[in-house]
Structure 1
Amino acid sequence: MNLYNFGKTLCSTLLHSFYKVEIIDAGKMPKTGGVLLCANHIHNFDPPLVGVASPREVHFMAKAEIFSVPVLKTLLPRLNAFPVKRGMSDKTALKTGLQVLRSGRVLGLFPEGTRSKTGETGEGLAGAGFFALKSDAVIVPCAIVGEYKFRRKIKIIFGDPIDFNALREQKATAQEATSLIMEHIKHLKAQHL
């Protein structure tokens, strides 16, 4: 068992022991090919929760600051995470994300860029739209619904892939593309409140 699968099993055990985790429509995730998996962000546990729910390995962008923590600096890359410098255009992170997608793997993003303090889904940053427009990846929205309170229900809902052909043909901006992704996430969330 590789470290990613071991970590996924461990996180699954811990998350299911603390919360009533319900995974909905994970079968909507394409079995092969590049996938941009975009979710709302409400808690620090969102990345492991989405990773546990996903039927495929997910490569997450994570804020660069946590890669300065000695143990995490070694562990995170082995768990398919790579750093992104927030608040600026990080060309290395953008290039890495595109490589993940173009090599047929799953890139996990939280388009809001940071956790919502109110639980409400905010506006997304242009990064998600950049990846959607610059790759041929399938874009899958994902909604996290619930409160991270002991034995409370947390739902992870996978949506239908978003058709991006029209936006790609129109040469839409990255922000317009992100806005479409966020609309789908908000719609998914509203359906499962």
Structure 2
Amino acid sequence: MKFYTFAKSVAYSILKPLYRIEAIGTENFPKEGGVLLCSNHINNFDPPVVGIMIPRTVYFMAKEELFAVPILGDIIRRCNAFPVKRGMSDRDALRKGLSVLKDGHILGIFPEGTRSKTGELGKGLAGVGFFALRSNAQVVPCAVIGPYKAFRKLKVVYGKPMQMDELRKAKASPEEVTDLIMAEIQKLITEYR
């Protein structure tokens, strides 16, 4: 955890002034318990930007290829990221993600599975709905809004936690839940753009 805290403070001191990051809705963020943090994905800096603005530790799923990059792979692993194989059902990543949530931590995930080329919100993958339904975690939608341009304002908006109890009781499908989460992210983007 010491490395995470150090890396977070370094990232904060560089990224916050560089992109004039404005965090909105941090008061919505649960102080404890498992949280599935779901954000749109517009830039490679999204994980640190989303993670540095809240006081708790975030465990991000990251594409497997990043862990093979010298130095970067070691840094992100030490920052609690874990690999996921894209384009297939990765049981190890699903198990690890559920374990993070069941242990009362924050699992950070980008439901689109890849960065948006246009900046518009894409379709979410069913794995997000799987995590929401199979854990007792609260789901917090998040939107990163603005250009990643030096000294231009970038907004990170955290929405109110979405309650999943009724959807779990109704036996909603992972796809249905993913669509609801994506709709909440889109609302944040539309409201704060």
* The two structures share one fold, judged by TM-score above 0.5: yes
Shift of 1:16: 2.0
Shift of 1:72: 2.6
What residue number does 1:39 align with? Answer: 39
Matched, 1:138 2:141: no
Contact 1:58–1:108 (8 Å) recurs in 2: yes
Contact 2:67–2:77 (8 Å) recurs in 1: no
Whole-Å separation in 2 of the counterparts to 1:65 and 1:20: 30
Matched, 1:186 2:149: no
What residue number does 2:88 align with? Answer: 88
Shift of 1:165: 1.6
Whole-Å separation in 1 of the counterparts to 2:129 and 2:65: 23
Q: Root-mean-square deviation (CA), in Å?
A: 1.0
Structure 2 length normalisation: TM-score? 0.97
Shift of 1:185: 0.4
Contact 2:138–2:161 (8 Å) recurs in 1: yes
Identity of aligned residues (%): 54
Whole-Å separation in 2 of the counterparts to 1:91 and 1:104: 20
Unaligned runs of 5+ in 1: none
Equivalenced residue count is 193
Whole-Å separation in 2 of the counterparts to 1:75 and 1:188: 31
Whole-Å separation in 1 of the counterparts to 2:103 and 2:165: 20
What residue number does 1:26 align with? Answer: 26
Which amino acid letter does the alignment assign opposite residue 142 of structure 1?
C
> Counterpart of 1:117 in 2: which secondary structure?
coil
Whole-Å separation in 1 of the counterparts to 2:17 and 2:145: 18
Shift of 1:173: 1.0
Contact 2:124–2:178 (8 Å) recurs in 1: yes
Whole-Å separation in 1 of the counterparts to 2:75 and 2:145: 28
Which amino acid letter does the alignment assign opposite residue 104 of structure 1?
G
What residue number does 1:152 align with? Answer: 152
Which amino acid letter does the alignment assign opposite residue 155 of structure 2?
K
What residue number does 1:109 align with? Answer: 109
Matched, 1:57 2:57: yes
Q: How far does the alpha carbon of each residue in 1:42-92 deviate from its partner, in whole angstroms, 9 at most, with x for none?
A: 000000001111221000000000111121332222101000000000000
Unaligned runs of 5+ in 2: none
Contact 1:26–1:55 (8 Å) recurs in 2: no
Which amino acid letter does the alignment assign opposite residue 164 of structure 1?
M
Matched, 1:13 2:13: yes
Structure 1 length normalisation: TM-score? 0.97
Whole-Å separation in 2 of the counterparts to 1:27 and 1:56: 13
> Counterpart of 2:115 in 1: which secondary structure?
coil
Which amino acid letter does the alignment assign opposite residue 74 of structure 1?
D
What residue number does 2:3 align with? Answer: 3
Which amino acid letter does the alignment assign opposite residue 93 of structure 1?
A
> Counterpart of 1:11 in 2: which secondary structure?
helix
> Counterpart of 2:89 in 1: which secondary structure?
coil
Which amino acid letter does the alignment assign opposite residue 105 of structure 1?
H
